[in-house]
Each structure stands twice: as structure tokens, then as C-alpha cells.
Chain A
Amino acid sequence: AQKITQTQPGMFVQEKEAVTLDCTYDTSDQSYGLFWYKQPSSGEMIFLIYQGSYDEQNATEGRYSLNFQKARKSANLVISASQLGDSAMYFCAMALLNSGYALNFGKGTSLLVTP
């Protein structure tokens, strides 16, 4: 069974600072994808970044980067230059290539960016 663990229920960061949100995963499959989603108070799920299990380079999308450590089974999200609008819930998720691509989510981390 696959499992996603996010150990930080809540995080604070000051505007313009960088913040790392932790995510570890557990699977015996070799082919999988790792995702981060942002969910603001409006409820929509906003895709941020994707890392494939065979990708050798860490993924980056603008201010978001994914610190992928395959041997440690971790996929931490780094947000650089935090903005007030980054305040939201952040979910790490994994999909297995051999299991219909269904996303399995962690419990999430609530991020609050302060002025």
C-alpha cells in the first residue's frame, strides 16, 4: 500500500523568506509520480509541481522547487521568496503508474505567510 506522510500540520514563514514543506512517501513500486497541490480557502486544488520517479533532475516551476531524494523517499517542496498569497493548505500526493494513476494525498500542511 502506498502512503504519504506530511509531518508539519502548520508552518509560519515571513514574507520574502524561503520555506520547506516536508513530504515522505512509501511505495514498493518503481514507477510513480509525486505532486504538490495548493488549496487556498476557496477550496480549489491548484497544481504546483510534478516529479517523476525516473527524473534525475529536481523539478522546478517558478518559485517552487521539489527536493527529490529517492533513496530517502522524500519529496520536499521549497517555496522561495514567499508571498502573502502563498498562505494556503499544501498537499503532497503520489500516483502509481500501475494503479490507474489515482492520486493518494497526504494530510496536508497549513502555511501562513506573515508580513
Chain B
Amino acid sequence: GAVVSQHPSRVICKSGTSVKIECRSLDFQATTMFWYRQFPKKSLMLMATSNEGSKATYEQGVEKDKFLINHASLTLSTLTVTSAHPEDSSFYICSAAQGGNEKLFFGSGTQLSVL
């Protein structure tokens, strides 16, 4: 089945630093990838939709200058949390839709802890 690889799985960083998270579709081309954030015991919250070769579409309330998304190829999207602060600590998950198939395949997630 389709596989989405997400790295790193865990990041601990100091406040003010930037963190980059990668999401790769390993065996299919993903024109669209999605980025989510999940706080403990809360539901997945869509942050942005990443389209290959174009600007990402951000959900209301998500700062595009803080959460930089780059989708430069059909197999790779990155999320950079710039100048991270403790309130950015969360579980970040990416997903990709396989071609015309609307089923989503998820990365394994990144637990970000900002000290």
C-alpha cells in the first residue's frame, strides 16, 4: 500500500529556533499533501493544504509566516515552524492523497517539544 514517510519523529528544541519537518510519499506521486496539528486528547486540526508547485492554502487562524510550507516536488512537502515557542509544542502529522484516489495516507507524525 501507499507509504508516507515523515521525519523527524521527535524534536526537542529551544524557544526561538526553527524546526523543519519533512513528509515524503515513497511509492506514489502526491500533488496534494495536508498538514495537521494535534494537541493532547484533541482532534486533528487541519493547518494547511500543500499543492505541488504552488502556494499552500492555510486554514483560518494559522499563521502562514510562522508555519512555512514548501511542496517543491510531487513526493516531498516540508513544514517549517519558525521561531518556535512552547505553545507550538504539539503533534504534527502530514498526509497525502494518492492520485485520484481520495484515500489519505498519513505520516507517522512528529512530536515537537519547545523548551
Q: A and B bound?
A: no
